[in-house]
Chain A
Amino acid sequence: MIQKKICMVGAFAVGKTSLVSRFVTSVFSERYLSTVGVKIDKKVVELDGAEVILVLWDLAGEDEFQAVQASYIRGSSGYLLVVDGTRQSTLDTAATIRERIVEEVGELPFVVVLNKSDLTEEWELGEEAIAKLTARGWTTVRTSAKTGAGVEEAFRLLTRAILAED
C-alpha cells in the first residue's frame, strides 16, 4: 500500500489538531490544548480504487512562543496550510510558513484550509482575499473541524494532488 507523509502547518489555534482528530477519529473538542512538538496519526483513505496510508504530522502552531520547524517537512509528500477564517492575521502567518517550506524542501503539493467556517458571525476573510489565493493557483477549501464540513474534501484534494505528482 502506498504511504504518504502529510504535514499540518499554520499559526497557533487555527485548528490543525482538530482537523486531524475529525478526519481520523471523527471527534471534535471545543477545548483548546496547544500541541507541543509533533503528533503523528495515520489514516487509510481510498481514492479512485487505490488505498493510501496517510501519515499525518500535526506540527506545533507558529507564534512567538514556538516556530514551525521547516525541517520536519523533509520527506513530506504535501501539506495542509491551515488558516483560521476568523483571524485574518493567520493568513499572513500561513504565507510566511509556506515561504519557509519552499526554502527548505522546494515546491510540494499543498491545500489552503480555511477552517472554522461554522463561525460565520466572526468570519474575517473576505472574498477578495480568498480570490487572491485562488489567483495564485492555490487550492482553497473551507472547513469546519467542528461540523466536519469540508474536512474529508481537504485531505482528499491534497491526496489527489500528491498522487498526481507521482
Chain B
Amino acid sequence: MDPLPDPVRDLLRALQLPSDKVAYLEVDRAGVVAGCGGRLAAYGLDDAAPGRIATEVAPFLSGLLPLGDEPFDAAPIQLKSDSWAALHVLPGAEGGVWVVLLDCTDDARARQRVQQRGNERALARATRRERPRGASMSALYAHVVDCLGIAILVRTRDSRFCVETVPHWLESLLDGAQPGIIIDVVERFPFLETFLPDAESIWGDPIPGVETSGIWVEQLSGGVEIPLEAVATRSLSEKLLLLRIPWAEYEEKRELVTRARASKLEHDRLRKEIQKKEILLHCIVHDLATPLTGIKAAFDLLAKKGLPPEAVGLVEIGQRMCADQQRLILSILDTFAAELSSPTSGSLDPTRVADAVVVVRKVVDTFMPTATLRKISLAIAPSCRGGGPLRTAIDDASLERMLLNLTENALRHTPAGGAVILGVEAAGGELRFTVDDDGPGIPEDQVERLFEKFGQGSGRRGAIGLGLYFCRITAERWGGAIGHENRPAGGSRFWFRLPAWRDT
C-alpha cells in the first residue's frame, strides 16, 4: 500500500487504529476526486480514480459535500454485504476534503446481534399481548376463569352489567342465567349498592386500579350460604366487575372471630359469677359487723362498771379483739368497694381532690401514738416538708386509705428502734409516694404475689392479704401503679404513683 497522506495518517494515529483497513479519497472543491488510496475495493470503491466525480464513485457522499471548516464523522454505513465502514470527512487543501473510510464490520455486526435479540424479545412480548385475542387463548382464559369460579361482569352503557362468564354458583343465584345476559346488579345483589360508587371512581380513574367490596353473604336456592366479594377494575375501555367466592378467607376469619368472641363471652360469664360470689361474701361480712358493734358496746359499758382487777384484763382483751375484728371487716369492705367502683379523673369532684402533702401528714399524725408506743420513729421525708400543695387525681379518702394500709404494714414489720418514713415527690406529671420501713424486707419469691388478693406471705404478721391488694386496685383504677423494692440498706420500700391533678 502506498504511503498514507499526512491527514489520513494523523487520523489513524488519533483513533489508535491500524492502517491496514483504511481507504481514502481526496475530493477537491468542485467535487472531483483529486486522489485516492488504501483498500478501496474492500468498500466497493473499485472505480475511484483521480478526475472522477466523487458522488458517482461514492454515492453516500451526496449531501455531505461540500464540507465546512469542521471535520465530520458519519454513522457506520454498510458499503458491501459483508463490510461496514465508519466515515470520517476532514477539511483538505483549498476547500477540498479528505474522505476516510475505516473498517468497523466487527463492531457493527455485534451491535446488529444485540439489536436482533432486543427485537425478538419485543416481538415475543407483543405476541403474548396479542394472544388473548386468538381463539385458543380465549378458550384457555375461559377454562382458567371457570376453575377459579370468577364471574366477569362488564358494565354496559346504561349502567347495567353484561355477565360474560357464569360459574355454576352464579348460575344458581341467577336462576340458570347464561353468558351474555344483562342484569341490574343492585337489584340482584343489593349489597353492591354501597360498593358501586367506589367502583365508579376506579372505572373513571385514568390509572388502572382495583377496588374490593368486602365480603357479603348470599343464599343459594337450597339455603346454602356462600360468601361473595366484588372487585372493580378496568381493562382498556371495559369497566369490569368481578365476583368471586372468598371461601378460605371467609371461613378462616369466621372461625377466628367466633372463637375469640366465644372466649370473651365465657370470660365475661366467669367474671360475673365471681362477682356474684363476692357480693355474697360482702353480705356475709357486712352481717358479721352488725353484732360486733353490739359486742363492742357491751365491753365498753362493762369497762366503766368498776370491775374487779382480774376482769378488767379480760374486758380489755375483748375490746382489743373487737377492734381487730372491726378493722378486718372494714378492710374487706373497702376492698370490695374499690373493686366495684370504676372512677375516672373526669368524674372526680374538684373539692375532693387530694392534696398529697396534707394526706401524708394526716396519716403520720394518725399513727404517731402507735409508733411512739412501739418505739419506732415515724416521719415525713425531708423532700416533702414545707413545700406547696401537691394535688393528685384521686379522692382524698382513697389516698388516705392507701397510705394508712402501707404505713400500718410498715409499722407492723419494723422492730423497736427502727424508722418508717413517708415521702411524696412530683415528677413528670405524676406523684410518687413512698413508705420505707426497717423491717426484714420481702423474700424475692414472694414479691410477685404481694399485691394479689390474699397474696401476702405466711410470714407477714397480722395480715389477711387484702391491704396491699386494695392499694394495687386503687392505684390502677386511678391510672397509677404500685410496686415494692427491698432497700439496699435493709427493709422495704413500697411505692405507688398517681397522676397529678390538672385543672381543666
| Chain A contacts to B: CB under 8 angstroms | 5, 12-13, 32-40, 55, 57, 61, 63, 65-66, 69, 71-72, 74-75, 87, 122
Which chain B positions have C-beta within 8 A of A71? 194
Is the CB–CB distance between B194 and A37 below 8 Å?
A: no
Q: Which residue of B lies closest to A89 (CB)?
A: B268
22 A-B pairs (CB sep. < 8 Å): A13-B265, A32-B262, A33-B258, A34-B261, A36-B217, A36-B227, A36-B250, A37-B214, A38-B214, A38-B216, A39-B217, A39-B225, A40-B190, A40-B191, A57-B190, A65-B257, A65-B260, A66-B257, A69-B214, A71-B194, A74-B193, A75-B193
Knowing that A37-B216, A37-B227, A72-B194 touch, tell me 5 more A-B residue pairs with CB under 8 angstroms. A38-B191, A38-B214, A40-B218, A69-B214, A75-B194
Scoring B225, B250, B261 by chain A CB atoms within 10 A of each residue's CB, the highest score goes to B261
Which chain B positions have C-beta within 8 A of A75? 193-194
Q: Does B253 contact A (CB under 8 A)?
A: yes
By DSSP majority rule, is chain B's interface helix, strand, loop, or mixed?
helix
What are the interface flags for B107-143 relative to A under an 8 Å C-beta threshold, 1 for contact and 0 otherwise? 0000000000000000000000000000000000000
Q: Does B254 contact A (CB under 8 A)?
A: yes
Q: Which residue of the partner chain, among B193, B216, B260, B272, contacts A39 with CB atoms under 8 Å? A: B216
Q: How far is the CA of A73 from the CA of B254 in the complex (A)?
A: 22
Which chain B positions have C-beta within 8 A of A63? 261, 264
Total number of A-B contacts with CB less than 8 angstroms? Answer: 62
Going nearest first, the 10 A-B pairs with the smallest beta carbon separation are A37-B215, A39-B217, A34-B258, A38-B216, A34-B257, A36-B254, A37-B216, A65-B257, A74-B194, A12-B261
Q: How far is the CA of A1 from the CA of B225 in the complex (A)?
A: 27
Which chain A positions have C-beta within 8 A of B218? 40
Q: How far is the CA of A75 from the CA of B193 in the complex (A)?
A: 8
- Measured between C-beta atoms, what is the minimum distance from A40 to chain B in Å? 6
Which chain A positions have C-beta within 8 A of B215? 36-38
Is the CB–CB distance between B268 and A87 below 8 Å?
A: yes
Q: Which residue of the partner chain, among A36, A72, A74, contacts B257 with CB atoms under 8 Å? A: A36
Is the CB–CB distance between B254 and A34 below 8 Å?
A: yes
Q: How far is the CA of A35 from the CA of B261 in the complex (A)?
A: 11
Q: How far is the CA of A40 from the CA of B250 in the complex (A)?
A: 16
Is the CB–CB distance between B253 and A36 below 8 Å?
A: yes
Q: How far is the CA of A55 from the CA of B258 in the complex (A)?
A: 25
Is the CB–CB distance between A40 and B258 below 8 Å?
A: no
Is the CB–CB distance between B216 and A33 below 8 Å?
A: no
Is the CB–CB distance between B217 and A40 below 8 Å?
A: yes
Which range holds the interface residue count of chain B? 20 to 34
Which chain A positions have C-beta within 8 A of B227? 36-37
- Measured between C-beta atoms, what is the minimum distance from B211 to chain A in Å? 13
- Measured between C-beta atoms, what is the minimum distance from B17 to chain A in Å? 74
Which chain B positions have C-beta within 8 A of A33? 254, 258
- Measured between C-beta atoms, what is the minimum distance from A109 to chain B in Å? 19
Q: How far is the CA of A72 from the CA of B257 in the complex (A)?
A: 20
Is the CB–CB distance between B216 and A40 below 8 Å?
A: yes
Q: How far is the CA of A11 from the CA of B191 in the complex (A)?
A: 21
Q: Which residue of A lies closest to B217 (CB)?
A: A39
Q: How far is the CA of A37 from the CA of B218 in the complex (A)?
A: 11
Is the CB–CB distance between B217 and A38 below 8 Å?
A: yes
Q: Which residue of B lies closest to A3 (CB)?
A: B190
- Measured between C-beta atoms, what is the minimum distance from A49 to chain B in Å? 26
Q: How far is the CA of A61 from the CA of B250 in the complex (A)?
A: 15
Q: How far is the CA of A74 from the CA of B196 in the complex (A)?
A: 12
Is the CB–CB distance between B253 and A55 below 8 Å?
A: no
Q: How far is the CA of A71 from the CA of B264 in the complex (A)?
A: 27
Within 8 A of A (CB), among B216-234: 216-218, 225, 227
Scoring B218, B257, B272 by chain A CB atoms within 10 A of each residue's CB, the highest score goes to B257
Q: Which residue of A lies closest to B215 (CB)?
A: A37
- Measured between C-beta atoms, what is the minimum distance from B414 to chain A in Å? 45
Within 8 A of A (CB), among B27-52: none
Is the CB–CB distance between B261 and A13 below 8 Å?
A: yes
Which chain A positions have C-beta within 8 A of B268? 87
Which chain B positions have C-beta within 8 A of A32? 258, 261-262, 265
- Measured between C-beta atoms, what is the minimum distance from B220 to chain A in Å? 13
Within 8 A of A (CB), among B176-219: 190-191, 193-194, 214-218
Q: How far is the CA of A66 from the CA of B258 in the complex (A)?
A: 11
- Measured between C-beta atoms, what is the minimum distance from A155 to chain B in Å? 17
Q: How far is the CA of A37 from the CA of B246 in the complex (A)?
A: 12
Q: How far is the CA of A117 from the CA of B264 in the complex (A)?
A: 21
Which chain B positions have C-beta within 8 A of A37? 214-217, 227, 250
- Measured between C-beta atoms, what is the minimum distance from B468 to chain A in Å? 29
Q: How far is the CA of A8 from the CA of B258 in the complex (A)?
A: 18
